[in-house]
Structure 1
Amino acid sequence: MNTQSKPLAKEAAGTADERVPISRPAVLFGPMNQPVSDLRGLRIWLVGASSGIGAELARQALQAGARVALSARRADVLQEVAAAHKNAFIAPLDVLCHDAWRDQHARIVEAFGGIDLLVFCAAKYRPERTWEVQEDEAEHTLRTNVASVYSALGAALPDMLARGSGGIALVASVAGYVGLPGATVYGPGKAALINLAEILYSDLRPKGLNVYLINPGFVKTDLTDKNDFPMPAIQTPQQAATAIWRGISEGRFEIHFPRRFTAWLKILRLLPFRLRFMLFQRFMLS
């Protein structure tokens, strides 16, 4: 992913066959992606960097020596996150504006010489039951959380494929694991990102690209502040960002946390529907 890090530079220097680890036995036991041992010099485009997990990912990456392009709608807030860091590049972006993606991608490539990792962290969330959904709000949420990802891919993938290296990280959610009450629009959108990440991995890993699926549990942000129910094992954005960078450094495909919470949801989605719905009624809807 990082053309400047030694392990990845070595991979990029190999033949096309050498960059296809999917069929090799080591994949059954080793990392599913190329581990990234050092963020120094890594060229990162972080979308959704103005608050929450995205802002903390940007801060930690900048502190580690990465070059980070920060995107969100408000340039003034991005400037605050960057804190005048010399390796930060402000790239204001409305994710729903298709042309803006290519324009900002061109600016970042001109400034950095390329992009090694695209992190899509933009999201919209509103807790709502089925009978509370508003059609226009639902469409806006799905365009923000899902459809805009395709604009990101359209902007960033051609250069990565041409180089045979790079990485795509999608921040989904454990809300995409199962149909949780209250996540009537948000949950299906995150489930779509989980599905998309699996497809991207199958398509892109044989071509030398890394793909990361990030499924956080509850993280204290402006989004989760809207919830009026207990949130087990809630973490800070700092804890979430640390877990994500650790997962990327280890070459994991799915990065989920905190595991004491996400493990239970993984078990829940394996249960028969009848039993799953009974548990919802007993513990979540009573």
Structure 2
Amino acid sequence: MAMKIWITGGSSGLGYALVQAYLRAGCHVFATARDEIKLSALEKECHDLPGRLETASVDVCDQAGIRCFYADLLARDIVLNRVILNAGTHIPTSAINFFRAAHEKLMAVNYGGVLNCLDVVLADFTRRCSGQVAIVSSVAGYRGLPGAGGYGATKAALINLCESMRGELDREGVDLRLINPGFVATPLTEKNDFPMPFLISAEKAASYIVRGLDGSAFEIAFPRRFVWLMKLLRVLPDGVFFPISQRMLRNR
């Protein structure tokens, strides 16, 4: 029987690449996103792939819409094997030109959107003691970086959330995974006005994720050299880290 997978943010970027990867593997994919036009284009472009694709225009910030979407799956006796909570956005932020609304939007989409999905998924998965939930965060959540305070804060929150919930969910038979990509070439990263080291394609990122979710590691982080660099920043003492942060600012 084909694996059934729900992917949020499936109409572009990393989500789009994941949808295609799983369809090529013959899976039954449920792709959700806000943009109906992009979802229609996704359906046309994936028409000849061997898996089965169903799309729905659902905003992760719309809690009622998420509940309605999931209730429809349950009413159809759809048993999801895997959920990839990938939907997110990016807005460059500045401490000097501080704009509270940008931070609030980032938190509502990147963190609140995940909570809205977990609200329905975990109730179902813990009830039947099965299923895998993967949450897409970022290596940007490892430590605060200049110009990414709003985005990085949401990703740090997701990392902490996953680490906190892992043990409890494991006891309930639910496999929680954390995905921390580095720079991935997507419409979101096109907003960046600085060099992005170790930038990889969305297709390459999707291949890392597909392989990682079939493995056993809690954290799926890539590319490896960039991950280790960012993890090193996380453990550096403040007296070493902040001068490096200042140099980052001068190079922007």
Counterpart selection for 1:276 from 236, 241, 250: 241
- Going by fraction, where is strand more abundant, 1 or 2? 2
Give distance in 2, aligned partners of 1:285 and 1:99: 45
For residues 7-65 of structure 1, the C-alpha deviation after alignment (integer angstroms, 9 at most, x for no partner) is xxxxxxxxxxxxxxxxxxxxxxxxxxxxxxxxxx1111101101100110011001101
CA contact (8 A) 1:109 1:115 kept: no
Determine whether 1:68 maps to 2:17. Answer: no
Distance 1:283 1:131 in 2: 16
1:53–1:238 Cα contact (<8 Å) kept = yes
List runs of 5+ in structure 2 lacking aligned partners: none
Counterpart for residue 124 of structure 1:
89
Conserved? CA contact 1:43–1:112, under 8 Å:
no
Residues 5 and 30 in structure 2, CA contact (< 8 A), matched pair in contact too = yes
Q: 1:112 to 1:64 in 2, by over 3 A?
A: farther
Check conservation: 2:32, 2:56, Cα contact below 8 A.
yes
Partner residue, 1:262: 227
Higher relative contact order (CA 8 A, sep 6+): 1
TM-score (norm 1): 0.83
Distance in structure 1 (CA, Å) of the matches to 2:100 and 2:241: 28
Structure 1 residue 79: Cα displacement:
2.7
Q: Residue in 2 aligned with 1:147?
A: 112
Residue 20 of structure 2 is matched in structure 1 by 59
Superposition map of 1:224-235 within 5 A: 224-235=189-200
Tell me which residue corresponds to 1:163: 128
Alignment pair present for 1:207 and 2:168: no
The one-letter code matched in structure 1 to 2:59 is D
- Map 1:34-49 → 2, pairs under 5 A: 41-49=2-10
Q: Deviations over 1:97-133 (max 9, x none)?
A: 1111111112233446211111111111111221223
Any conservation in 2 of the 1:91–1:108 contact (CA below 8 Å)? no
In the TM superposition, structure 1's runs of 4+ consecutive aligned residues that sit over 4 Å from their partners are none
Unaligned runs of 5+ in 1: 5-40
Shift of 1:149: 1.3
Partner of 1:33: none
Among 193, 196, 199, which residue is 2:161 paired with? 196
- Number of the residue aligned with 2:185: 220
Q: Which amino acid aligns with 1:131?
A: I
More moved, 109-118 vs 266-275: 109-118
* CA deviation profile, 1:162-192 (whole Å, cap 9, x unmatched): 1110011110001100101010100000000
The residue number in structure 1 matching 2:206 is: 241
Give the aligned residue type for 1:61.
Y
Q: Identity rate of aligned residues, in percent?
A: 38
Residue 107 of structure 1 corresponds to 72
Residue 215 of structure 2 is aligned to residue 250 of structure 1: yes
RMSD: 1.5
